[in-house]
Amino acid sequence: MTRSIGVVSIRIAVAEDNALLRDGLARLIHSTHDFELVGTAGDYDELLALVTASTPDVVVTDIRMPPTGTDEGIRAAAVLRISHPAIGVIVLSQFVSPAYAISLLSEGSARRGYLLKDRVADVDDLVAAIRVVAAGGAVIDPQVVEQLVTSSSRSSKTPIDFLTPREREVLGEMALGKSNAAIAATLVLSERAVEKHINSIFSKLHLTEERDVNRRVAAVLLYLTDGDAGNTPDGVAARFPPRA
């Protein structure tokens, strides 16, 4: 496809072991005026080699690929966070698994996305997600959050609505993957004050004490999918791209 002169393309690498879906993703990228496909991969090792050779802006990857068919997409995102921190990663999964999303965001939410494969059928959703992640934002499928925080009612007010402005600021800094000490320095607070705000956030978001749930990341997931998380710090684009 011929690119318009002056258009800055988002360079994308695709990793998917299913040939039909891989080809479908490639066609979608080719048909979008500001996207450029740098290459495709069918397994974990091919993906890392492709990234090294082409340095894309965004990687769109299946969560399960050879060689083990378990969590290659999540592991690739963790490796790229260290080796290529400027590259965004969108993980596609058929599983509504909060554990996978928590693992993906464990070192921060910027330039990360977790979408169910159903979203691939809606071209506008996937295209919007790629643009958000390329710009440094985060996109998390709402179904994942609903599974994680089942006690939260989103019919009128959400738990986020009950946070104070300062608690929203603290949660926004948490979404960037900052430690309590870093949050305290940014917001000019004591670490003790930050701890109190975080405990209040956990309480208001109805997050449990269970060991297998990382409450910090769970809070960030809820924040990112809230429709009114407007006061977001630089580098994080909150919420899932709205449907037209």
User: pLDDT by residue (tens digit) across 131-150?
Assistant: 999 998 888 887 877 776 55
Contact present, 139 and 129 (Cβ < 8 Å): yes
Amino acid (one-letter) located at 176 = L
pLDDT at position 226, please? 67
Euclidean distance between CA atoms 157 and 204, whole angstroms = 12
Instruction: Give kind and range of the element (H or E) at residue 113.
Output: strand 112-116
Phi, psi of 17 (to 5 degrees): -85, -15
Residue ranges and CATH numbers for the domains of the chain are 10-142 (3.40.50.2300), 147-225 (1.10.10.10)
Q: Give me the pLDDT at residue 30, please.
A: 92
- Cβ-count burial of 120 within 10 angstroms (0-12 exposed, 13-18 middle, 19+ buried)? middle
Element (H, E) at 123: helix 123-134
Question: Can you list the pairs that 161-168 forms with residues at least 24 positions away whose Cβ atoms lie under 8 Å?
Answer: 161/228, 162/204, 163/201, 163/204, 165/231, 166/197, 167/197, 167/200, 167/201, 167/204, 168/229, 168/231
Look up tokens 């039909």; give the residue: 20
In order of 3, 58, 136, 170, the CA distances from 108 in angstroms are 33, 16, 11, 14
Strands (E), 8-111: 10-15, 35-41, 58-62, 88-93
CA distances (Å), origin 8, targets 11, 33, 46, 134, 178: 9, 10, 26, 12, 31
Spell out, as residue ranges, where the chain has pLDDT lower than 50. 1-2, 4, 151-155, 212, 228-244
What's the confidence (pLDDT) of residue 152? 47
Query: Which pLDDT score, from 0 to 100, does residue 7 have?
Result: 62
Are the C-beta atoms of residues 103 and 216 closer than 8 Å to each other?
A: no
Q: Please report which helix (H) or strand (E) contains residue 30, including its range.
A: helix 19-30
Q: In a 3-state reduction of DSSP, which class is residue 226?
A: coil
**Residue 228's pLDDT is what?**
47
Q: Which of 182, 202, 184 is nearest to 192 (CA)?
A: 184
| Spatial separation of the C-alpha atoms in residues 41 and 209, rounded to whole Å | 40
